Amino acid sequence: MATVTLPPGPTTPLVVQTFHALTAPLRGIPRLRDRYGDAFTINHPVFRRAVVISDPGEVRQLLLTSPEIADNLDINLGQVLGPASLFALRGQAHRQQRKLLVPPFHGRRLVAYERIVEEETVRELATWPRDRPFATMPSMMRITLNTILRAVFGAEGAEFAELRELLPRAVTLGSRLALLPLPRVSLGGLSPWGRFWAMRRRYDEIVERLIEAAEGGGDLDAREDILATMLQSRYDDGSAMSHAEISDQLLTLLVAGHETTATTLAWAVERLRRHPEVLRELAEEVDEGGAALRQATIYEVQRTRPVIDIIGRQVRADGFQLGRWTLPRGCVVLVSIALLHEDESVFPDARTFDPHRFLDTRPDLYQWIPFGGGTRRCVGAAFANMEMDVVLRTMLRDTVLLPTGEPGERWHSRGVASAPGRGGLAVVRDRTPLAPEGSDRVTEAA
Ligand code: HEM
Protein backbone atom coordinates (compact mmCIF):
# COMPACT_ATOMS: atom_id res chain seq x y z
CA MET A 1 0.00 0.00 0.00
CA ALA A 2 1.24 3.52 -0.86
CA THR A 3 2.54 5.58 2.05
CA VAL A 4 0.10 8.34 2.97
CA THR A 5 1.49 11.89 2.63
CA LEU A 6 -0.82 14.61 3.88
CA PRO A 7 -0.14 18.35 3.91
CA PRO A 8 0.78 19.92 7.27
CA GLY A 9 -1.87 21.49 9.48
CA PRO A 10 -2.88 22.51 12.97
CA THR A 11 -2.57 19.83 15.66
CA THR A 12 -5.07 21.44 18.03
CA PRO A 13 -7.84 19.05 19.16
CA LEU A 14 -11.04 18.63 17.14
CA VAL A 15 -13.07 20.50 19.72
CA VAL A 16 -10.84 23.60 19.40
CA GLN A 17 -10.87 23.47 15.60
CA THR A 18 -14.64 22.99 15.68
CA PHE A 19 -14.96 26.10 17.84
CA HIS A 20 -12.91 28.10 15.30
CA ALA A 21 -14.88 26.65 12.38
CA LEU A 22 -18.17 27.64 13.97
CA THR A 23 -17.17 31.06 15.21
CA ALA A 24 -15.05 32.18 12.25
CA PRO A 25 -16.01 29.91 9.34
CA LEU A 26 -14.88 32.34 6.66
CA ARG A 27 -11.78 33.82 8.29
CA GLY A 28 -10.27 30.48 9.29
CA ILE A 29 -9.19 29.26 5.85
CA PRO A 30 -7.12 32.34 4.82
CA ARG A 31 -5.41 32.27 8.23
CA LEU A 32 -4.42 28.61 7.72
CA ARG A 33 -3.20 29.37 4.19
CA ASP A 34 -0.98 32.17 5.59
CA ARG A 35 0.47 29.73 8.10
CA TYR A 36 0.76 26.46 6.14
CA GLY A 37 0.69 27.43 2.44
CA ASP A 38 -1.76 26.44 -0.32
CA ALA A 39 -2.56 22.96 1.11
CA PHE A 40 -3.22 21.96 4.70
CA THR A 41 -4.91 19.24 6.75
CA ILE A 42 -7.62 20.19 9.23
CA ASN A 43 -9.93 18.54 11.71
CA HIS A 44 -13.36 19.52 10.44
CA PRO A 45 -16.47 19.35 12.68
CA VAL A 46 -18.44 17.47 10.01
CA PHE A 47 -15.84 15.73 7.82
CA ARG A 48 -13.24 15.04 10.54
CA ARG A 49 -9.82 14.83 8.90
CA ALA A 50 -9.90 16.79 5.66
CA VAL A 51 -7.28 18.09 3.25
CA VAL A 52 -7.88 21.63 1.93
CA ILE A 53 -6.29 22.47 -1.44
CA SER A 54 -6.08 25.59 -3.62
CA ASP A 55 -3.02 25.02 -5.84
CA PRO A 56 -4.31 25.52 -9.42
CA GLY A 57 -2.66 22.32 -10.73
CA GLU A 58 -3.97 20.17 -7.88
CA VAL A 59 -7.47 21.62 -8.15
CA ARG A 60 -7.56 20.93 -11.90
CA GLN A 61 -6.33 17.36 -11.36
CA LEU A 62 -8.98 16.70 -8.69
CA LEU A 63 -11.82 18.07 -10.81
CA LEU A 64 -10.71 15.95 -13.77
CA THR A 65 -10.36 12.77 -11.68
CA SER A 66 -12.93 10.09 -12.47
CA PRO A 67 -15.73 9.57 -9.92
CA GLU A 68 -14.46 6.01 -9.35
CA ILE A 69 -11.42 7.58 -7.63
CA ALA A 70 -12.85 10.79 -6.12
CA ASP A 71 -16.60 11.39 -5.90
CA ASN A 72 -19.11 13.30 -3.84
CA LEU A 73 -18.92 13.53 -0.05
CA ASP A 74 -21.01 11.27 2.17
CA ILE A 75 -23.33 13.69 3.93
CA ASN A 76 -26.93 13.43 5.03
CA LEU A 77 -28.42 15.09 1.96
CA GLY A 78 -30.29 11.94 0.90
CA GLN A 79 -32.34 12.19 4.12
CA VAL A 80 -33.29 15.78 3.45
CA LEU A 81 -33.55 16.02 -0.34
CA GLY A 82 -34.50 12.39 -0.94
CA PRO A 83 -32.52 9.34 -2.13
CA ALA A 84 -32.85 10.28 -5.84
CA SER A 85 -31.39 13.78 -5.34
CA LEU A 86 -28.34 14.45 -7.54
CA PHE A 87 -26.46 15.37 -4.37
CA ALA A 88 -27.13 11.96 -2.86
CA LEU A 89 -26.22 9.88 -5.93
CA ARG A 90 -22.83 8.59 -6.96
CA GLY A 91 -21.26 6.71 -9.88
CA GLN A 92 -23.54 5.30 -12.59
CA ALA A 93 -26.79 6.37 -10.90
CA HIS A 94 -25.50 9.96 -10.78
CA ARG A 95 -24.43 9.84 -14.45
CA GLN A 96 -27.91 8.61 -15.49
CA GLN A 97 -29.75 11.36 -13.61
CA ARG A 98 -27.45 14.10 -14.94
CA LYS A 99 -28.04 12.91 -18.48
CA LEU A 100 -31.75 13.66 -18.05
CA LEU A 101 -31.26 16.90 -16.14
CA VAL A 102 -28.61 18.72 -18.15
CA PRO A 103 -30.49 19.27 -21.49
CA PRO A 104 -33.40 21.38 -20.12
CA PHE A 105 -30.91 23.81 -18.59
CA HIS A 106 -29.25 24.79 -21.85
CA GLY A 107 -29.52 26.76 -25.09
CA ARG A 108 -32.89 27.62 -26.56
CA ARG A 109 -34.73 26.61 -23.41
CA LEU A 110 -33.07 29.32 -21.37
CA VAL A 111 -34.34 32.07 -23.67
CA ALA A 112 -37.90 31.03 -22.82
CA TYR A 113 -37.21 31.64 -19.11
CA GLU A 114 -35.92 35.19 -19.63
CA ARG A 115 -39.47 36.54 -19.76
CA ILE A 116 -40.28 35.03 -16.36
CA VAL A 117 -37.13 36.51 -14.76
CA GLU A 118 -37.84 39.93 -16.23
CA GLU A 119 -41.46 39.90 -15.02
CA GLU A 120 -40.39 38.92 -11.51
CA THR A 121 -37.68 41.61 -11.47
CA VAL A 122 -40.00 44.37 -12.66
CA ARG A 123 -42.49 43.36 -9.95
CA GLU A 124 -39.80 43.62 -7.25
CA LEU A 125 -38.29 46.88 -8.55
CA ALA A 126 -41.70 48.51 -8.14
CA THR A 127 -41.54 47.79 -4.39
CA TRP A 128 -38.04 49.25 -3.87
CA PRO A 129 -37.99 52.51 -1.89
CA ARG A 130 -36.47 55.52 -3.65
CA ASP A 131 -33.59 57.60 -2.23
CA ARG A 132 -33.04 55.65 0.96
CA PRO A 133 -30.93 52.59 1.79
CA PHE A 134 -32.50 49.14 1.88
CA ALA A 135 -31.20 45.57 1.74
CA THR A 136 -31.66 43.96 -1.69
CA MET A 137 -31.20 40.39 -0.44
CA PRO A 138 -34.91 39.74 0.43
CA SER A 139 -35.93 41.00 -3.02
CA MET A 140 -33.33 38.86 -4.75
CA MET A 141 -34.56 35.85 -2.74
CA ARG A 142 -38.14 36.46 -3.92
CA ILE A 143 -37.08 36.89 -7.55
CA THR A 144 -35.07 33.65 -7.60
CA LEU A 145 -37.68 31.66 -5.64
CA ASN A 146 -40.55 32.77 -7.89
CA THR A 147 -38.45 32.13 -11.00
CA ILE A 148 -37.64 28.58 -9.95
CA LEU A 149 -41.24 27.85 -8.96
CA ARG A 150 -42.49 29.03 -12.36
CA ALA A 151 -39.68 27.91 -14.70
CA VAL A 152 -38.64 24.70 -12.94
CA PHE A 153 -41.77 23.50 -11.09
CA GLY A 154 -44.18 24.98 -13.63
CA ALA A 155 -46.23 26.07 -10.58
CA GLU A 156 -49.04 28.61 -10.60
CA GLY A 157 -52.18 29.38 -8.61
CA ALA A 158 -52.70 27.56 -5.30
CA GLU A 159 -49.63 25.32 -5.67
CA PHE A 160 -47.39 28.32 -6.38
CA ALA A 161 -48.66 30.11 -3.25
CA GLU A 162 -48.33 27.02 -1.05
CA LEU A 163 -44.79 26.22 -2.21
CA ARG A 164 -43.74 29.84 -1.78
CA GLU A 165 -44.83 29.74 1.82
CA LEU A 166 -43.56 26.24 2.65
CA LEU A 167 -40.23 25.90 0.86
CA PRO A 168 -38.13 28.67 2.45
CA ARG A 169 -38.93 27.29 5.92
CA ALA A 170 -38.32 23.69 4.88
CA VAL A 171 -35.00 24.54 3.20
CA THR A 172 -33.68 26.52 6.19
CA LEU A 173 -34.46 23.66 8.56
CA GLY A 174 -33.29 20.97 6.13
CA SER A 175 -29.92 22.63 5.47
CA ARG A 176 -29.19 22.59 9.22
CA LEU A 177 -30.31 18.98 9.63
CA ALA A 178 -28.22 17.80 6.66
CA LEU A 179 -25.11 18.37 8.74
CA LEU A 180 -26.34 16.38 11.76
CA PRO A 181 -26.46 12.61 12.21
CA LEU A 182 -29.87 11.00 11.75
CA PRO A 183 -31.54 10.21 15.14
CA ARG A 184 -31.63 6.46 15.91
CA VAL A 185 -35.02 6.73 17.58
CA SER A 186 -38.04 8.76 16.57
CA LEU A 187 -38.06 12.02 18.54
CA GLY A 188 -41.71 12.79 17.76
CA GLY A 189 -43.50 15.28 15.55
CA LEU A 190 -42.29 18.36 17.43
CA SER A 191 -38.58 17.52 17.13
CA PRO A 192 -36.66 19.24 14.30
CA TRP A 193 -36.62 16.01 12.22
CA GLY A 194 -40.34 15.42 12.96
CA ARG A 195 -41.17 18.95 11.79
CA PHE A 196 -38.99 18.56 8.72
CA TRP A 197 -40.61 15.28 7.66
CA ALA A 198 -44.08 16.79 8.08
CA MET A 199 -43.06 19.61 5.73
CA ARG A 200 -41.52 17.12 3.33
CA ARG A 201 -44.80 15.12 3.20
CA ARG A 202 -46.73 18.30 2.45
CA TYR A 203 -44.22 19.23 -0.24
CA ASP A 204 -44.53 15.78 -1.89
CA GLU A 205 -48.34 16.13 -1.92
CA ILE A 206 -48.14 19.52 -3.66
CA VAL A 207 -45.68 18.18 -6.27
CA GLU A 208 -47.98 15.20 -6.86
CA ARG A 209 -50.80 17.65 -7.61
CA LEU A 210 -48.55 19.54 -10.04
CA ILE A 211 -47.64 16.27 -11.78
CA GLU A 212 -51.27 15.19 -12.04
CA ALA A 213 -52.23 18.57 -13.50
CA ALA A 214 -49.35 18.43 -16.01
CA GLU A 215 -50.19 14.88 -17.09
CA GLY A 216 -53.89 15.63 -17.37
CA GLY A 217 -53.51 19.04 -19.06
CA GLY A 218 -53.05 17.66 -22.57
CA ASP A 219 -50.32 20.23 -23.38
CA LEU A 220 -47.23 18.51 -22.00
CA ASP A 221 -45.36 18.85 -25.31
CA ALA A 222 -45.96 22.59 -25.45
CA ARG A 223 -44.91 23.27 -21.86
CA GLU A 224 -41.48 24.72 -21.23
CA ASP A 225 -41.01 24.14 -17.50
CA ILE A 226 -38.53 21.58 -16.25
CA LEU A 227 -41.15 19.44 -14.48
CA ALA A 228 -42.85 18.88 -17.86
CA THR A 229 -39.48 17.97 -19.42
CA MET A 230 -38.77 15.50 -16.64
CA LEU A 231 -42.15 13.82 -17.18
CA GLN A 232 -41.30 13.26 -20.84
CA SER A 233 -37.64 12.26 -20.44
CA ARG A 234 -36.53 8.62 -20.64
CA TYR A 235 -33.53 6.70 -19.28
CA ASP A 236 -31.41 4.70 -21.75
CA ASP A 237 -33.60 1.63 -21.12
CA GLY A 238 -36.74 3.59 -22.10
CA SER A 239 -38.17 3.88 -18.57
CA ALA A 240 -39.52 7.16 -17.19
CA MET A 241 -38.55 9.02 -14.03
CA SER A 242 -40.78 8.02 -11.10
CA HIS A 243 -42.82 10.71 -9.37
CA ALA A 244 -40.68 10.29 -6.24
CA GLU A 245 -37.53 10.88 -8.30
CA ILE A 246 -39.05 14.00 -9.85
CA SER A 247 -40.04 15.30 -6.43
CA ASP A 248 -36.50 14.79 -5.03
CA GLN A 249 -34.90 16.39 -8.07
CA LEU A 250 -37.15 19.46 -8.04
CA LEU A 251 -36.37 20.04 -4.38
CA THR A 252 -32.66 19.64 -5.15
CA LEU A 253 -32.85 22.25 -7.91
CA LEU A 254 -34.61 24.67 -5.61
CA VAL A 255 -32.18 24.19 -2.73
CA ALA A 256 -29.17 24.47 -5.02
CA GLY A 257 -30.42 27.35 -7.13
CA HIS A 258 -32.47 29.72 -5.01
CA GLU A 259 -30.23 31.22 -2.34
CA THR A 260 -26.99 30.86 -4.33
CA THR A 261 -28.28 33.02 -7.18
CA ALA A 262 -29.94 35.56 -4.87
CA THR A 263 -26.78 35.95 -2.78
CA THR A 264 -24.61 36.47 -5.86
CA LEU A 265 -27.00 39.17 -7.06
CA ALA A 266 -26.85 40.92 -3.67
CA TRP A 267 -23.04 40.86 -3.97
CA ALA A 268 -23.30 42.30 -7.48
CA VAL A 269 -25.20 45.29 -6.06
CA GLU A 270 -22.66 45.61 -3.25
CA ARG A 271 -19.65 45.52 -5.63
CA LEU A 272 -21.13 47.82 -8.27
CA ARG A 273 -21.96 50.57 -5.80
CA ARG A 274 -18.29 50.61 -4.83
CA HIS A 275 -17.10 50.77 -8.45
CA PRO A 276 -18.92 53.79 -9.96
CA GLU A 277 -16.86 53.69 -13.14
CA VAL A 278 -18.02 50.12 -13.92
CA LEU A 279 -21.57 51.05 -12.93
CA ARG A 280 -21.54 53.98 -15.37
CA GLU A 281 -20.18 51.83 -18.20
CA LEU A 282 -22.82 49.18 -17.51
CA ALA A 283 -25.66 51.72 -17.63
CA GLU A 284 -24.36 53.01 -20.96
CA GLU A 285 -24.05 49.47 -22.30
CA VAL A 286 -27.68 48.72 -21.39
CA ASP A 287 -28.82 51.80 -23.30
CA GLU A 288 -26.87 50.64 -26.32
CA GLY A 289 -28.30 47.12 -26.11
CA GLY A 290 -24.93 45.52 -25.32
CA ALA A 291 -24.17 42.72 -22.86
CA ALA A 292 -20.43 41.97 -22.94
CA LEU A 293 -19.39 44.03 -19.92
CA ARG A 294 -22.42 42.81 -17.95
CA GLN A 295 -21.33 39.21 -18.59
CA ALA A 296 -17.76 40.06 -17.59
CA THR A 297 -19.10 41.72 -14.42
CA ILE A 298 -21.04 38.58 -13.48
CA TYR A 299 -17.84 36.53 -13.90
CA GLU A 300 -15.88 38.99 -11.77
CA VAL A 301 -18.50 39.17 -9.01
CA GLN A 302 -18.43 35.38 -8.84
CA ARG A 303 -14.62 35.32 -8.83
CA THR A 304 -14.25 37.86 -6.03
CA ARG A 305 -17.36 36.87 -4.04
CA PRO A 306 -17.91 33.11 -4.56
CA VAL A 307 -21.01 32.44 -2.45
CA ILE A 308 -20.17 28.76 -2.01
CA ASP A 309 -16.61 28.96 -0.75
CA ILE A 310 -15.83 25.24 -0.67
CA ILE A 311 -16.58 22.14 -2.73
CA GLY A 312 -15.60 18.66 -1.64
CA ARG A 313 -14.76 15.20 -2.89
CA GLN A 314 -14.07 11.94 -1.05
CA VAL A 315 -11.31 9.55 -2.10
CA ARG A 316 -12.80 6.19 -3.17
CA ALA A 317 -9.55 4.32 -3.97
CA ASP A 318 -6.36 3.41 -2.10
CA GLY A 319 -3.41 5.78 -2.25
CA PHE A 320 -4.75 8.49 -4.56
CA GLN A 321 -1.81 10.58 -5.77
CA LEU A 322 -3.02 14.18 -5.89
CA GLY A 323 -0.12 16.46 -6.89
CA ARG A 324 2.32 16.43 -3.98
CA TRP A 325 0.09 14.31 -1.71
CA THR A 326 -0.83 10.65 -1.37
CA LEU A 327 -4.30 10.39 0.10
CA PRO A 328 -5.87 7.35 1.77
CA ARG A 329 -9.27 5.87 0.82
CA GLY A 330 -12.07 7.80 2.53
CA CYS A 331 -10.01 11.01 2.83
CA VAL A 332 -12.08 14.17 2.34
CA VAL A 333 -10.59 16.76 -0.02
CA LEU A 334 -12.00 20.29 0.14
CA VAL A 335 -11.23 22.82 -2.60
CA SER A 336 -11.11 26.38 -1.34
CA ILE A 337 -12.74 28.31 -4.19
CA ALA A 338 -11.97 31.64 -2.53
CA LEU A 339 -8.24 30.90 -2.20
CA LEU A 340 -7.95 29.69 -5.79
CA HIS A 341 -9.74 32.81 -7.02
CA GLU A 342 -7.21 34.96 -5.12
CA ASP A 343 -4.20 33.21 -6.66
CA GLU A 344 -2.02 35.85 -8.34
CA SER A 345 -0.53 33.34 -10.79
CA VAL A 346 -4.03 32.73 -12.18
CA PHE A 347 -5.65 36.15 -11.75
CA PRO A 348 -3.02 38.95 -11.72
CA ASP A 349 -3.91 41.76 -9.30
CA ALA A 350 -6.42 39.30 -7.86
CA ARG A 351 -7.62 41.55 -5.02
CA THR A 352 -8.83 44.20 -7.46
CA PHE A 353 -12.43 44.04 -8.70
CA ASP A 354 -11.98 44.49 -12.44
CA PRO A 355 -14.61 43.02 -14.79
CA HIS A 356 -12.51 44.07 -17.78
CA ARG A 357 -10.24 41.09 -17.14
CA PHE A 358 -13.08 38.91 -18.51
CA LEU A 359 -14.17 41.20 -21.32
CA ASP A 360 -14.71 39.08 -24.45
CA THR A 361 -13.01 36.03 -22.90
CA ARG A 362 -14.57 33.05 -21.24
CA PRO A 363 -12.98 31.97 -17.97
CA ASP A 364 -11.05 28.68 -17.72
CA LEU A 365 -13.56 26.36 -16.01
CA TYR A 366 -10.90 24.67 -13.87
CA GLN A 367 -9.53 27.97 -12.50
CA TRP A 368 -12.73 30.03 -12.25
CA ILE A 369 -14.89 27.64 -10.25
CA PRO A 370 -17.81 29.34 -8.46
CA PHE A 371 -19.97 26.54 -9.92
CA GLY A 372 -17.51 23.78 -8.96
CA GLY A 373 -16.18 21.62 -11.77
CA GLY A 374 -15.85 18.31 -13.56
CA THR A 375 -18.55 15.65 -13.45
CA ARG A 376 -20.32 17.38 -10.57
CA ARG A 377 -20.21 20.93 -11.93
CA CYS A 378 -23.39 22.88 -11.17
CA VAL A 379 -26.21 21.72 -13.45
CA GLY A 380 -27.86 25.13 -13.20
CA ALA A 381 -24.80 27.27 -14.07
CA ALA A 382 -26.17 28.50 -17.42
CA PHE A 383 -29.63 29.04 -15.88
CA ALA A 384 -28.13 31.07 -12.99
CA ASN A 385 -26.05 33.11 -15.43
CA MET A 386 -29.12 33.90 -17.54
CA GLU A 387 -31.07 34.83 -14.41
CA MET A 388 -28.36 37.14 -13.06
CA ASP A 389 -27.95 38.76 -16.47
CA VAL A 390 -31.67 39.51 -16.80
CA VAL A 391 -32.02 40.83 -13.24
CA LEU A 392 -29.03 43.17 -13.66
CA ARG A 393 -30.12 44.27 -17.13
CA THR A 394 -33.63 45.11 -15.89
CA MET A 395 -32.34 46.85 -12.77
CA LEU A 396 -29.87 48.99 -14.76
CA ARG A 397 -32.51 49.77 -17.37
CA ASP A 398 -35.27 50.85 -14.96
CA THR A 399 -33.40 52.39 -12.01
CA VAL A 400 -30.29 54.39 -11.18
CA LEU A 401 -28.19 52.60 -8.58
CA LEU A 402 -26.33 55.19 -6.54
CA PRO A 403 -22.62 54.59 -5.79
CA THR A 404 -21.30 54.73 -2.21
CA GLY A 405 -18.00 55.50 -0.51
CA GLU A 406 -18.78 53.16 2.40
CA PRO A 407 -16.40 50.26 3.06
CA GLY A 408 -17.32 46.92 1.48
CA GLU A 409 -19.83 44.71 3.27
CA ARG A 410 -18.38 41.79 5.23
CA TRP A 411 -19.07 38.14 4.52
CA HIS A 412 -21.96 36.63 6.40
CA SER A 413 -22.51 32.87 6.33
CA ARG A 414 -26.20 31.98 5.87
CA GLY A 415 -25.76 28.21 5.93
CA VAL A 416 -26.12 27.38 2.23
CA ALA A 417 -24.34 30.45 0.85
CA SER A 418 -22.32 33.43 2.10
CA ALA A 419 -24.02 36.79 1.68
CA PRO A 420 -23.02 40.44 2.11
CA GLY A 421 -23.38 41.19 5.84
CA ARG A 422 -25.80 44.11 5.36
CA GLY A 423 -27.85 42.28 2.74
CA GLY A 424 -26.43 44.12 -0.29
CA LEU A 425 -27.58 47.65 0.66
CA ALA A 426 -28.79 49.76 -2.24
CA VAL A 427 -30.03 53.30 -2.79
CA VAL A 428 -31.92 53.76 -6.06
CA ARG A 429 -33.73 56.42 -8.03
CA ASP A 430 -36.09 56.15 -10.93
CA ARG A 431 -34.36 56.54 -14.21
CA THR A 432 -35.06 59.86 -15.86
CA PRO A 433 -35.20 59.99 -19.65
CA LEU A 434 -31.82 59.54 -21.31
CA ALA A 435 -29.39 62.36 -20.59
CA PRO A 436 -27.84 64.23 -23.52
CA GLU A 437 -24.73 62.68 -25.01
CA GLY A 438 -21.52 63.24 -23.04
CA SER A 439 -23.19 63.69 -19.63
CA ASP A 440 -22.49 61.31 -16.78
CA ARG A 441 -25.84 60.05 -15.49
CA VAL A 442 -24.63 57.92 -12.56
CA THR A 443 -22.28 60.55 -11.20
CA GLU A 444 -24.96 63.24 -11.55
CA ALA A 445 -27.44 61.12 -9.66
CA ALA A 446 -24.94 60.56 -6.85
C1 HEM B 1 -24.99 31.68 -8.67
C2 HEM B 1 -25.72 30.59 -8.49
C3 HEM B 1 -25.15 29.23 -8.21
C4 HEM B 1 -23.96 28.86 -7.67
C5 HEM B 1 -22.85 29.78 -7.17
C6 HEM B 1 -23.93 27.41 -7.63
C7 HEM B 1 -22.86 26.68 -7.15
C8 HEM B 1 -22.81 25.30 -7.16
C9 HEM B 1 -21.69 24.52 -6.69
C10 HEM B 1 -20.40 25.09 -6.12
C11 HEM B 1 -22.01 23.21 -6.85
C12 HEM B 1 -21.12 22.01 -6.48
C13 HEM B 1 -20.28 21.64 -7.69
C14 HEM B 1 -19.16 20.67 -7.43
O15 HEM B 1 -19.16 19.97 -6.40
O16 HEM B 1 -18.23 20.62 -8.26
C17 HEM B 1 -23.33 23.15 -7.41
C18 HEM B 1 -24.01 21.98 -7.72
C19 HEM B 1 -25.30 21.94 -8.17
N20 HEM B 1 -26.09 23.01 -8.52
FE21 HEM B 1 -25.57 24.96 -8.45
N22 HEM B 1 -25.10 26.93 -8.14
C23 HEM B 1 -25.88 28.00 -8.52
C24 HEM B 1 -27.14 27.95 -9.11
C25 HEM B 1 -27.83 26.79 -9.39
C26 HEM B 1 -29.13 26.74 -10.03
C27 HEM B 1 -29.92 27.96 -10.51
C28 HEM B 1 -29.50 25.42 -10.08
C29 HEM B 1 -30.75 24.80 -10.63
C30 HEM B 1 -31.88 25.42 -10.79
C31 HEM B 1 -28.41 24.65 -9.49
C32 HEM B 1 -28.39 23.27 -9.38
C33 HEM B 1 -27.31 22.53 -8.93
C34 HEM B 1 -27.32 21.09 -8.82
C35 HEM B 1 -28.48 20.17 -9.16
C36 HEM B 1 -26.05 20.71 -8.37
C37 HEM B 1 -25.56 19.28 -8.10
C38 HEM B 1 -24.78 18.78 -9.30
C39 HEM B 1 -24.29 17.34 -9.14
O40 HEM B 1 -24.02 16.92 -8.01
O41 HEM B 1 -24.15 16.66 -10.16
N42 HEM B 1 -27.43 25.52 -9.08
N43 HEM B 1 -23.79 24.43 -7.62
Higher per-residue pLDDT: 43 or 304: 304
The alpha carbon torsion through 353, 359, 363, 368 (nearest 10 deg) reads: 10
Give the tens place of pLDDT for each residue, 248-272: 999 999 999 999 999 999 999 999 9
Give the tens place of pLDDT for each residue, 145-170: 999 999 999 999 999 999 999 999 99
Task: Tell me the HSE value of 190 on the side-chain side, using a 13 A CA sphere.
Answer: 0
User: How does the average pLDDT of the chain come out, rounded?
Assistant: 91
**Cα Rg, the chain, nearest whole Å:** 23
Of 378, 385, 414, the one to substitute when testing ligand 1's pocket (max ligand atoms within 8 A of C-beta) is 378
Please state, in angstroms and rounded to a whole number, the distance separating the CA atoms of residues 135 and 424.
5
What is the pLDDT averaged over residues 394-415? Answer: 94
Please state, in angstroms and rounded to a whole number, the distance separating the CA atoms of residues 141 and 155.
17
- Asked if the model's pLDDT at residue 400 lies above 80, the reply is yes
Q: What is the pLDDT at residue 192?
A: 86
The DSSP 8-state label assigned to residue 41 in this structure reads E
Please give the C-alpha separations between residue 427 and each of 248, 282, 283, 399, 401, in angstroms, as whole numbers. Answer: 39, 17, 16, 10, 6
Of 265, 371, 387, the one to substitute when testing ligand 1's pocket (max ligand atoms within 8 A of C-beta) is 371
Which residues does ligand 1 sit against, CB inside 6 Å?
A: 86-87, 98, 148, 152, 252-253, 256-257, 260-261, 264, 307-308, 311, 370-373, 376-380, 383-384
Length of the chain: 446
Is-contact 250 97, C-beta < 8 A?
Answer: no
Q: Atom 7 of ligand 1 has which residue's CA nearest to it?
A: 371
Helix, strand, coil content of the chain in percent (nearest 5): 50, 10, 35
Please state, in angstroms and rounded to a whole number, the distance separating the CA atoms of residues 209 and 243.
11
Please state, in angstroms and rounded to a whole number, the distance separating the CA atoms of residues 250 and 235.
17
Short-list 366, 416, 377, CA closest to 54 = 366
